[in-house]
Structure 1
Amino acid sequence: MKKPVLWALFLAGITSQSLAQDPNAEKYAGNINAKITKKHLSILASDKFEGRETGKRGAEMAAAYIAREFKKLKLIAPVNGSYLQQVSLIETSMLVHSFELNKNVLSSGKDFQFSGSGEARTIQANELLFIAKETESELKENDISGKVVLIIQYGQADEIAKRLSFLKRKKPALILAVNTEKNNSNHSHNSGVSLSVKNGSRESFPLKVYSPPVVQINPEIANLILKNSGSTFEKLAANNAQMLIKAELKLSYGPVQREVLSSNVLGYLEGTDLKDELLVYSAHYDHIGMNSDGGKDKVFNGADDDGSGTSGVLAIAKAFAKAKKEGNGPRRSILFLMFTGEEKNLLGSEYYSLNPVFPMANTITNLNIDMIGRTDFIYRNTPDSTNYLYLVGTDKLSIDLHRISDHANAVYTKLKLDYRHNAKDDPTQIYFWSDHYNFAKNGVPVIFYYNGKHEDYHKGSDEVRKINFNLLSKRAQLAYYTGWDLVNRDKRPVVDVKNNMPATR
């Protein structure tokens, strides 16, 4: 019996030693606190910044704020003496040349909202198919290919998007969607304007890929369609009917493109003996802008998405900058990288991956923070509601990185780490949907820090007052401690897992 006891004591000794805390790491972690993260977030997610939409004034204000904070920390401006990496984008919008319903000429923006993609088209019809909500299942057997369909929009944003997606797969010529809620902020940010990186992999995507157009109208316009049918929109909706309606429709539209400039914001902290190797902390500072429907809450503040991650990275930058000032700087260099255009399809990170300021081959890891200030639906009423975090990507390219991350949590933050979104069969497939994707596809190990979706996701109600700043700061501290280990250890994380990341999503 002595041998097992001695072996247990030996293992306990190793465990105790391996869980020893680094006093220098702990010394500077206090800079990542509720006071500093609240200060940053209260500015970035204020109405003044107008929802930080890429290419708009609010986003440029946010970029300028972050650059000023990097300068205060005395981080190096690595883009030819600037903190801003200019990102060249192509904006594609669909211009409606004319839209007539029963001889009535309608005005875009006033009478309807249009979204679509593809090349210029003209759609003409003399009948429409009205589909009530109870009869959607019948479409599985019906052929609506090439037809104009009229539907009622109802339910939450996810339900609306799901139904439209289903209908588009049936390949109608046009979807007329009646919106009965005049101030529906759930989907008002979907303007039909798309952005892509100039000379990027998806620049011509809006032109080459056709999707059936959707025209959003109100009940008054719906009644213009029905004026010769002997019925009204209200009667059809009440009767849950599915019927053919005689109406004359002509729609002509086509794409218009222009160049738009935005900026990634970069702050560089140089290392010592291993300074040619680089750790990247990232978050996206953009959000989805203003509520164009004129609702009471006019700004999509994006406090959690991703003001929380941006504020967390700014606090982490302060901790490392102070450590260096006091002679405890990192061995490897650190790039604090705030992306534009994440909400527009990861544009800022795509641009950086195509135009890296520092070689991707020298980038040891990307720690990407996107939403860390709230509690999601899953954890809301559990004992771990204020002590959990989803980690994604930790072992996708490097088992070594996964161990480093788990060790940092075991020693310092002791959060409940949830890996459900890291699973291959995770229905959200979120591994592909934040800025770390553009590092992972280039073979750089990544960790994505994420709190999950909540009821305010992509709504005007994602506001600063709902953020748990103590939880935000604790989650950011995990990224900090993980990074402290990564930049000071002798060897970079070993890439020991085959990269199965697709080149495009």
Structure 2
Amino acid sequence: MKPLLLFGQLTLITGLPAAAQQAPTKVKIKTKAAAPSATPAPTDWARTYAATILPDELRQNLTVVASDAFQGREAGQPGQKLAAEFLVKQFAALGLQGPVTGGDSPYLQHFPLTRGTPAPGGYVQVNGQRYEWLNDFFSYGPMPSPFLVPTAAQPVFVGFGVEQGPYSDYAGLDVTGKDVVALMGAPQDERGRQLLKPYGRKADYWESGLRKAALAKAKGARSIFLVTFAPTAAFRQEGQQFGASLSELAFSLPDPGPAIVDTVSESIPPGIGVYLTSQELGLQLAGATMPELLGYVQALGQAAGQSVRPAFRAPSATFYLPQAQEQLTTENVLGFLEGSDKKDEVLVISAHYDHLGVKHDTIYNGADDDGSGTVAVLQLAKAFAQAKKEGHGPRRSILFITMTAEEEGLFGSEYYTAHPVLPLAQTIADLNIDMVGRTDRKHSPKKHFVCIVGSDKLSSDLHRINEAANRDYTHLELDYRFNIPGEPEHIYYRSDHYNFARRKIPVIFYTTGEHADYHKATDDVEKIEFDKLAERAQLVFHTAWELANREQRIVVDSNKP
């Protein structure tokens, strides 16, 4: 712990020396000023309470959270329920309030999940021809099927599936509950020249099929079929290659709340089926021949940056993607610390406590992912609760949330932000902690660092506050490599903070990135560096302290994709 800094003002006091003696004759006596004395400086309470975040206590809690008794904490399974009970007891023991009303526990926010296991026999039938699953189409990844029985549908062709400024492939179309067909790639003319300006700093922004899927979801579509132009043989080879991963369990959130426009996502958006099709099937679903499709693209090039409606029309089709589905219930765990004079404004501090569960009789304990973030949240809650108990509590309220079902698709934060216990309009920021207990492959074991993601994307205040907290207190190396535009691992989109960010709530994601044991059964407690975990949690504390106590709420003054 670094020494307490004192910022008092010195006051000079003058007077006679105690031992001054008078000469026998009348003479002028010079006196010396007394040594100045210092008025005690105010205590730096942030430093005081940050120092209560201790490696030994982090280790003690993580030894429980990442134990075999919790069976890997898979969402909806018995081990996750046991972990939730442990977290409830911890929050209650700290004196935090349970803010959830109308349930069996004020600390638990229950919500439903659907778990699906794919079954063979899926197909699309159009124009009297049947196209088989994995031969002619496959999904972007494991996902619940919206077509559990043969389903007659009227697909809607939406061009490139893009909306930017005055250009909208959805203009005049209602696709609510429908199945859209979109071309991969960005709008271009017959010479291949891009018709839209770069979005932000990304010239290839709309090349992403996932962004098209996110826009289709926001428009209310049930599914999106993305037409590729790979040769049939190459497409089928790719489908067979991905077949194993597509047979994994798939989860969905039956009640995701109101759709929001979110076209910056680079993760599979929950609540919509996302499929790639072969060129042959794609043309059939669009209702076009290749010459007709090229004519449509040529018309786009002549439309001066406006979308056009094609002359062809998608025919009716039948979709069938069978799955065995199971309904589950899982829980976010919430602890609330009420603030003082600014208590109506709320800071969220979050981490996800779920992990991968048990696979092939092997327990995946997830000590770093995200046991480390979970126990950091507990220690932060303890520090702020102690501050309040001793008369130094935060001005703003703080909501500590340990999320569930992050591993299945950020569902815990998706549910909370769609069904907030406290108003999102009064939520000033989310500080999210996910995997902060290890050193990744890019750093020396001697380095004391943390990766900062998203701090500048919505609020310049938040970015400055976090950097100042580190400069004044923790002195870690702040690594921004996951924060750059076009970052290939898409880390910004892969943890619970993102569901706050896409609702325009400023976020910081604290992480140390992936390591050799990421999503493996070897992610165990003995590999956690608890001294570094404590330092990183202290940085979160200092940033949270400033956010909770500053006079003005931080601004939202940026919108970086």
Alignment check: 8 A CA contact 1:281 1:335 kept: yes
Task: Pick the aligned partner of 2:274 from 205, 209, 225.
Answer: 209
Aligned equivalent of 1:466? 527
Alignment partners' CA distance in 1, 2:498 and 2:249? 23
Q: Show the 5 A alignment for 1:41-80.
A: 41-80=62-101
Aligned equivalent of 1:39? 60
Shift of 1:86: 0.6
TM-score, length-normalised on structure 2? 0.62
Aligned equivalent of 2:537? 476
Tell me the number of residue pairs that the alignment of Structure 1 and Structure 2 aligns.
Answer: 368
Aligned equivalent of 2:405? 341
Task: Pick the aligned partner of 1:322 from 379, 386, 391.
Answer: 386
Task: Pick the aligned partner of 1:197 from 239, 244, 253.
Answer: 253
Shift of 1:259: 2.3
Shift of 1:143: 3.8
Q: Deviations over 1:17-65 (max 9, x none)?
A: xxx9961111111221111110110001011111110111111111110
Shift of 1:196: 1.5
For the pair shown, the structure with the greater C-alpha radius of gyration is 2
Alignment partners' CA distance in 2, 1:79 and 1:302? 27
Q: Which has the higher strand share?
A: 1
SS in 2 for 1:485: helix
Aligned equivalent of 1:23? 44
Aligned equivalent of 1:270? 338
Alignment partners' CA distance in 2, 1:55 and 1:211? 30
When residues 48 and 423 of structure 1 are mapped into structure 2, their CA distance, relative to the original with a 3 A threshold, is same
SS in 1 for 2:327: strand
Q: Percent identity?
A: 45
Alignment partners' CA distance in 2, 1:314 and 1:301? 18
Alignment partners' CA distance in 2, 1:480 and 1:22? 17
Shift of 1:380: 3.2
SS in 2 for 1:281: strand
Q: 4+ runs of 1 displaced by more than 4 Å?
A: 114-118, 174-177, 201-204
Q: Which moved more, 1:196-205 or 1:41-50?
A: 196-205
SS in 2 for 1:77: coil
Aligned equivalent of 1:144? 233
Aligned equivalent of 1:373? 437
Alignment check: 8 A CA contact 2:253 2:271 kept: no
Structure possessing the higher relative contact order (Cα contacts under 8 Å, 6 or more residues apart):
1
When residues 146 and 487 of structure 1 are mapped into structure 2, their CA distance, relative to the original with a 3 A threshold, is closer
Q: Deviations over 1:119-175 (max 9, x none)?
A: 4699xxxxxxxxxxxxxxxxx99642685x6xxxxxxxxxxxxxxxxx23xxx5x86
Aligned equivalent of 1:433? 494
Letter in 2 for 1:289: G
Alignment partners' CA distance in 1, 2:119 and 2:69? 30
Aligned equivalent of 1:90? 114
When residues 358 and 464 of structure 1 are mapped into structure 2, their CA distance, relative to the original with a 3 A threshold, is same
Alignment check: 8 A CA contact 2:109 2:331 kept: yes
Q: Deviations over 1:227-247 (max 9, x none)?
A: xxxxxxxxxxxxxxxxxxxxx
1:254 aligns with 2:322: yes
When residues 48 and 257 of structure 1 are mapped into structure 2, their CA distance, relative to the original with a 3 A threshold, is same
C-alpha RMSD over aligned residues: 2.7
Aligned equivalent of 2:449? 388
Alignment partners' CA distance in 2, 1:34 and 1:121? 53
Shift of 1:258: 3.3
Aligned equivalent of 2:297? none
Shift of 1:83: 0.3
Task: Pick the aligned partner of 1:281 from 329, 349, 352.
Answer: 349
Alignment check: 8 A CA contact 1:117 1:211 kept: no
TM-score, length-normalised on structure 1? 0.68
Letter in 2 for 1:209: V
When residues 437 and 411 of structure 1 are mapped into structure 2, their CA distance, relative to the original with a 3 A threshold, is same
1:311 aligns with 2:375: yes
Alignment check: 8 A CA contact 2:142 2:250 kept: no
